[in-house]
Structure 1
């Protein structure tokens, strides 16, 4: 097989995808949805042996809209409903909401709002559980956060399951997707934000002893691994949530909620 020009090789392994309600498949359905801009896309996965004018048009449209493209040797759908799918070597992950670039996001959410109050943002570092992401989005909206930033790689897309888990909040809050979170944090700090990372370290600052009445970005990490080391180095301060009993950590969505509402409490008190 001749490699199509401009395509970057990933690995030669089979791509396994669990069937879910945020998938769109088939050459013509994906092409039509892209052309008519029906819905939003977080990733398009294409088998490297699929060629033709329509495939190249899909690739061109995806690149012009900065949609992640993944080229694989083969695609295998798993789970309930997968046997009925004829994907024709192309599957798109759809999103229930528009995914803003960091530039667009910051234009809408400067560190200080017009009324002089501080903007608060929630950042999810490589979160892969759609139920956790949905719950975090719901807490972010309820606590007055301006928006949520997610990573493009190793992160669940805000599709149907996330939308359901957010109980409608996904439609009312801005979501930004970034390719390189470390670079994005540098930009956010230059824009006037303080970056706080949630960790379970004994030497981290207690949430309740930390001044959060500032323009703030709060980061929670993936389930199990937490915040990645390079992301952690970009944090201005590391936060821990004091707990009693034998548990040493909280679910990421619970930790995010505790932090977001403490930050809301402090900001309300500060602005009286």
Structure 2
């Protein structure tokens, strides 16, 4: 079960572009929370709209650890949005259900016990849904078995991320965790070595790194990178050697470079 999360407050009008990943209206959102809560990744509520059903939505979201945002004003925009009555509540969903973290750990550990070298990807507070989707796509294409996302300070796994993933979200295990530091500790207990991608001259070169073992690659946010406490949980921090004056790559590009190097190294027999 998801852990309880803090409710976020926003003061300005929230404009949401109409897309296939949205559910709006009190009763449809309640039904989604009751039937498929694993698919609901975010709920936006007009802070002045209160009723018994709204309170029920807030309570279920708290219980299931779903990100809940209160806004001063809520407006859907785009073709056909003018005819929609959202009743002060909009939910963002994904096409596939998220996997519980403990189940992902069990699957990873089982492969390790069988002598395999499975790989995971952990995204530390990525803000850009395009980058998030691209990383999920690269994870699937490079043979990773799962992706770990943070619930707080993370781009929603909604329509933009799903589109950027080119459908990969439906073909790879994805889970969300409240505390990435604690999650990485458990990943290591399951047999993984944790590699943190950083832009640091003191980090080990990607091409001097041995990925022929069970691994979890951690990729940080676009601006701040991996947070200090998360970095401390990394067994090895690695960087990508680059020519010219640039000192870093887009997070999704960096993730792809690392993941495909890991795949290249693991193409031979275990």
Could you tell me the TM-score, scaled by structure 1's length? 0.86
Aligned match of 1:16 = 14
Q: Which consecutive unaligned segments of at least 5 residues does structure 1 have?
A: 1-5
In the alignment, what sits opposite 2:74? 76
In 1, distance between residues paired with 2:5 and 2:158? 26
- In structure 2, do the counterparts of structure 1 residues 231 and 39 end up closer, same or farther at CA, with 3 Å as the change threshold? closer
SS at match of 1:150: strand
Whether the aligned pair in 2 keeps the contact of 1:111 and 1:193 (CA below 8 Å) is no
- The residue aligned with 1:116 is 115
User: Displacement, 1:64?
Assistant: 4.2
C-alpha distance 101-38 of structure 1, shift in aligned 2 (>3 A): closer
Q: Following TM superposition, by how much is the alpha carbon of 1:62 offset from its aligned partner in structure 2, in angstroms?
A: 2.9
Deviation at 1:240, TM superposition (A): 0.3
Give yes or no for contact 1:140–1:148 (8 Å, CA) kept in 2.
yes
When structure 1 is superposed on structure 2, of 85-94 and 150-159 the one drifting more is 85-94
In structure 2, the residue matched to 1:54 is 53
SS at match of 1:223: coil
Quote the residue 2:127 is aligned against. Answer: 128
CA drift at 1:145: 0.4
Instruction: Report SS of the residue matched to 1:268.
Output: coil
Q: SS where residue 219 of structure 1 aligns?
A: strand
1:186 to partner: Cα distance = 1.6
Uncovered stretches (5+) of structure 2, i.e. residues with no partner:
none
In the alignment, what sits opposite 2:259?
Answer: 260
Q: Distance in 2 between matches of 1:248 and 1:269?
A: 32
SS across alignment from 1:75: strand
Query: Aligned residues, how many?
Result: 265
Q: Calculate the TM-score normalised by the size of structure 2.
A: 0.87
> SS in structure 1 opposite 2:44?
strand
Q: Is the 8 A contact 1:112 1:215 kept in 2?
A: no
Equivalent residue of 1:253, what SS? helix
Contact 1:14 1:76 in 2 (8 A): no
Q: RMSD of aligned C-alpha atoms?
A: 2.6
For residues 182 and 14 of structure 1, the distance between their equivalents in structure 2, rounded to whole angstroms, comes to 32
SS of residue matched to 1:249 = coil
For 2:119 and 2:54, the matched residues in 1 are separated by 41
Q: Contact 1:205 / 1:239 at 8 angstroms: preserved in 2?
A: yes
